[in-house]
Chain A
Amino acid sequence: MTDAALPLQSEADQRAIAAIRRKNAVWRRILRDPPAAVAALFLIVIVGSAMLAPWIAPFDPYASNMRLRLCPIGGARCPDFLLGADNQGRDMVSRILFGLRATLGIGIAAVLVGGGLGALIGLSAAYFKRLDQPLMRLVDVLLSFPSILFGLAIAAVMGTGLFSLVVALSIASIPSIARIARGAAQSIMQQEYMEAGRAVGLGDGALIWRYLALNCWPTILIYMTLQLGQAILLGAALSFLGLGAQPPTAELGSMAADGRKFLSIAPHVSTLPCAAIFLVVLAFNVLGDALRDALDPKLRQ
C-alpha cells in the first residue's frame, strides 16, 4: 500500500505505522526470541565458514600422515591439530569444515531443486484450477512414500554417490513444499490485484511470476529452511549407510561411519562429525520453528 493511497494520514500517523511495521518485521521478531537469535547467528557463522573452508581450513583435509593416526584432541603427537586426527592422520578441524561444506551443500542443493520444483507444482496447481486435482494427487503419492526409500531406490537404480543422493533428497523435498506453495498461492489468488492484473491484459506467465511467485516466496523460503534440517539429516543418514558420499570425500555422515571402527580407542573421530550434524540441524529446526511462528500469527500465543 503506497502513501498516496492514504491521503488522510497525517505525518505522525505515518510515522506510527512505520514504527509498528518495523517492530513487527520478521527479523526483529526473531531477535526477540533468544534461542532463534542464537540459532541464526550460529548458522551464519557455520554456513560462512563452510563456504570459506578452502581458505580457512588450517590443513589439507585429504593429506594423511600415518604417524598422527587417531591422535586424540589435545594429543602431544599433533599439537597443531586442535581437534585431533582421524584414522588416517588427517586434521579433524579441516575435515569437519570440508565435511560441513559437503553436507550443507548437498542439503541446500536438494532443497533448492526439490523446493523449486515443488513451488512450481504448487503455484501451477493454485493458478490453473484444472491442474489442481491431478497435481495434488501426485504430491499425495510422493508424500505418502517414506523419503528413506527414495534414497534406497535411487541408490539401487543409479548407483551410490553424491549425484544420486541429491536426486533422492530433491524428490523427497518436493511434496511438502508443493503443498505449502499451493496454500500460499491460493490465498493470493483471492486478492483483487490478481483480477486487476488480468483486466489490464497480463498473460499467465506474468501473473504467475510477478504476482503469485513474488508474493509467495517468503512463505516458501521459510518452509525450505524447515525442510533443510530434514534433508541434511536424511542425507547424512544415507551417507552413513554408505549409499551417499563415498570415502575419502569429507562428508559428515560418511566421516561418522568411518570413525565407527575406532569408537573404543578414538571416539572423537566419529563423535565430532555427529555433533556437527546435530548442531546444524538443531539450529535449522529452531530457526525454522521461530520463522513459522513469526509469519503465522495464528500459531503465536
Chain B
Amino acid sequence: MISLPVLLGVLLIGFLLLQVVPTDPATVVAGPTATKAEIDAIRNDLGLNQPLWVQFGRYLGRVFQLDLGRSMISNRAVVDEIALTLWPTVELMLACLIWAVPLGITLGTLAARRRGTLIDRAIMALSVMGVSVPVFWVGLLLIQYVGGAGLLPFQGRNGPIWTPDGFLSIILPAVTLGAVFVGPVARMTRTSLLETLGADYVRTARAKGASDWRVTVRHALRNAMIPVVTLVGLQIGFLLGGSIVTETMFAWPGVGRMAVGAITSSDFPLAQGAILILAVGFMAINLAVDVLYAYLDPRIARG
C-alpha cells in the first residue's frame, strides 16, 4: 500500500503550509481591540500553545472531518471552494482522455502494424514531438489561431459539458491537454504490441487462419493494453501538470487554476486544500487503474 505514506506526506505539507501563515491566527480571531491577555486565552483555546505534533494530530482530525479552514481572501470554507472547482477539472480530464487515448492507441497500433515504414517513422516522430512540446505552446497556438479567429471560445467555462455552450468552451482546453498525451500512449501501444505480436498465441491464431487485423485487434491488442493502462495511470501525474497549465491559460475554473492563484496570492489555507485534493485525486485515479488492470488481466486479480 503505497498511498498511505504519500497521503501522510501530503498532509504534512498541508500542515506546514498553515504554519508559515505570516499572521497569527489568534490575533486575527481576537480582533483589533483585544488585549494581550485575551489573545493569549484564545491562543490557548485554539491549541496553538501545544507542541507541533499535537497540533498536527488535531489538523489530521479536522481534515478527516473535511474542515480545511477558510480562504484568507474570499473567507469562504476551503471545502466549498474545492467543491465548486472539482467537477470542472474532472470534466476537463475526461474530455481530454476520451479523444487522446483512443487516438494514441490507434496510432500506436498503426505504427506497430506498419513497423519500419514511413507511417511508423512519422507516427514515432510525432510522438517524440508530443512529449517535447510545452503544453502552454499548444494552448497559445490554439488561442492565437482558433480562438483569435473567433471560431471557438477560449476564456472560461460556459456551462456543463452537456450544454451546447459548455461543450464548445471545453473543446480548446481538451485539445490542448490531450495533444501532449497522444504521443506517450501511441509510443507505449506500439512497443507493447510489437512484443505481443511475437507471442506464441498470436502465431497460433494466425496459423488457424485468422485475418491479419483480427489477430492484431482481438488477440494481440487486448494483451498489449495492460502496459498501456499502466502507462495511462502513471501519466495521470503528467496530465495533472498539464491540466494545471491548461486551466490557468484558458481561465478554466478548476482546482489547478485555483491552486496556482492561491499560491501566488499567499492564500495558504486555500493552497493547502487545493494541493491536498489534487494529491488525493491522483491517488484515487491510481487505485482505479489498479482495478482496471485486474479486469484486463484476470491473472492479476487471482494473484
Interfacial residues, chain A to chain B (CB-CB below 8 A): 137, 140-141, 144-149, 152-153, 155-157, 160, 229, 233-234, 236-237, 240-243, 253, 256-257, 260, 263-264, 267, 270-271, 274-275, 277-278, 281-282, 284-286, 289
| Chain A proximity of B252: nearest CB distance (Å) | 13
B144 touches A234 (CB 8 A): no
Residue from B141, B240, B245, B275 in contact with A153 in the complex, judged by beta carbons closer than 8 Å: B275
CA distance A271 to B282 in the complex (A): 32
Min CB distance A160 to B, Å, is 7
Q: Is the CB of A256 within 8 A of B137?
A: yes
Contacts of B279 in A (CB 8 A): 145-146, 149
CB distance from B63 to the nearest CB of A (A): 16
Can you list 23 A-B contacts with CB-CB less than 8 angstroms, sorted by A residue number?
A141-B2, A141-B6, A144-B2, A144-B3, A145-B9, A146-B236, A147-B237, A148-B240, A152-B275, A152-B278, A157-B13, A237-B136, A240-B245, A256-B136, A256-B137, A256-B140, A263-B140, A267-B144, A270-B140, A278-B129, A278-B132, A278-B133, A285-B131
Q: B47 near A: Cβ within 8 Å?
A: no
* Closest Cβ neighbor of A148 among chain B residues: B241
Q: Which of chain B's residues have a CB closer than 8 A to the CB of A157?
A: 13, 16-17, 20
- A242–B2 CB distance below 8 A: no
CA–CA, A45 and B159, complex, Å: 49
Q: How far is the CA of A146 from the CA of B9 in the complex (A)?
A: 13
Question: Is there contact, CB below 8 Å, between B263 and A156?
Answer: yes
Query: Closest CB of chain A to B199's CB: distance in Å?
Result: 17
Residues of B within 8 A of A285 (CB): 128, 131-132
In the bound complex, how far is the Cα of B141 from the Cα of A228, in angstroms? 25
Would you call B144 and A263 a contact (CB within 8 A)? Answer: yes
Per the bound structure, the CA–CA distance linking A263 and B141 in Å amounts to: 9
Cα(A256)–Cα(B138), bound, Å: 12
Q: Is B226 an interface residue (CB 8 A)?
A: no
Nearest CB in chain B: distance from A103 CB, A: 11
Shortest CB-to-CB span from A263 to chain B, Å, is 5
Q: How far is the CB of B239 from chain A (nearest CB, A)?
A: 9
Contact A234 B245 (CB under 8 A): no
Q: Is the interface of A mostly helix, strand, loop or mixed?
A: helix
Q: Does B61 contact A (CB under 8 A)?
A: no
Query: Considering only CB atoms, which chain A residue lies closest to B241 in the complex?
Result: A148
Bound form: Cα–Cα A270–B136 in Å: 10
Contacts of A155 in B (CB 8 A): 263
**Distance (whole angstroms) from the CB of A168 to the closest CB of chain B:** 12
Interface residues on B, range: 35 or more
Chain B residue at minimum C-beta to C-beta distance from A229: B132
CB neighbours of A241 from chain B (8 A): 244-245, 248, 260
Distance A249 CA – B143 CA, assembled complex (angstroms): 25
> Total A-B pairs in contact (CB under 8 Å)?
130
Bitwise interface map of B from 228 to 252 toward A, beta carbon under 8 Å scored 1, else 0: 0000000011101100110011000
Q: Are A243 and B263 in contact (CB under 8 A)?
A: yes
B286 and A144 contact, CB distance less than 8 A: yes
B249: chain A residues at CB < 8 Å are 260
Contacts A141-B9, A160-B263, A243-B264 given; does A148 touch B136 at CB 8 Å? no
Chain A residues in 8 Å Cβ range of B5: 137, 141
Whether the pair B260, A282 counts as a contact (CB closer than 8 A) is: no
Q: Are A237 and B241 touching (Cβ within 8 A)?
A: yes
B123, CB-defined interface residue at 8 Å? no
Annotate B252-263 by CB proximity to A: 1 below 8 A, 0 otherwise: 000000011011
Closest 6 CB pairs of A and B: A146-B237, A148-B241, A274-B137, A282-B132, A281-B132, A156-B271
A274 and B240 contact, CB distance less than 8 A: no
Which chain B residues border A243 with CB–CB below 8 Å? 260, 263-264
A155 vs B137: C-alpha distance in the bound complex, in angstroms?
A: 23
**Measured between alpha carbons, how far is A285 from B126 in the docked complex, in Å?**
12
Chain B 100-111, CB-CB to A under 8 Å as 1, else 0, gives: 000000000000
Contact of B144 among A153, A233, A264 (CB under 8 A): A264
Complex interface residues of chain B between 188 and 214 (CB less than 8 A to chain A): none
Say whether B59 faces chain A, with CB atoms less than 8 Å apart: no
With A141-B5, A157-B17, A160-B263 given, is the CB distance from A233 to B128 under 8 Å?
no
Among B1-37, those with CB < 8 Å from A are 2-3, 5-6, 9-10, 13, 16-17, 20
Q: Which of B9, B131, B237, B262 contacts A148 (CB 8 A)?
A: B237
Name the residue of chain B whose CB is nearest to the CB of A256: B136
CB contacts (< 8 Å) of A233 on chain B: these are 132, 134
Instruction: Say how far B279's CB is from chain A's closest CB, in angstroms.
Output: 6
B128 touches A263 (CB 8 A): no
A281's closest neighbor in chain B, by CB? Answer: B132
Is B148 an interface position by the 8 A CB rule? yes
Distance (whole angstroms) from the CB of A107 to the closest CB of chain B: 13
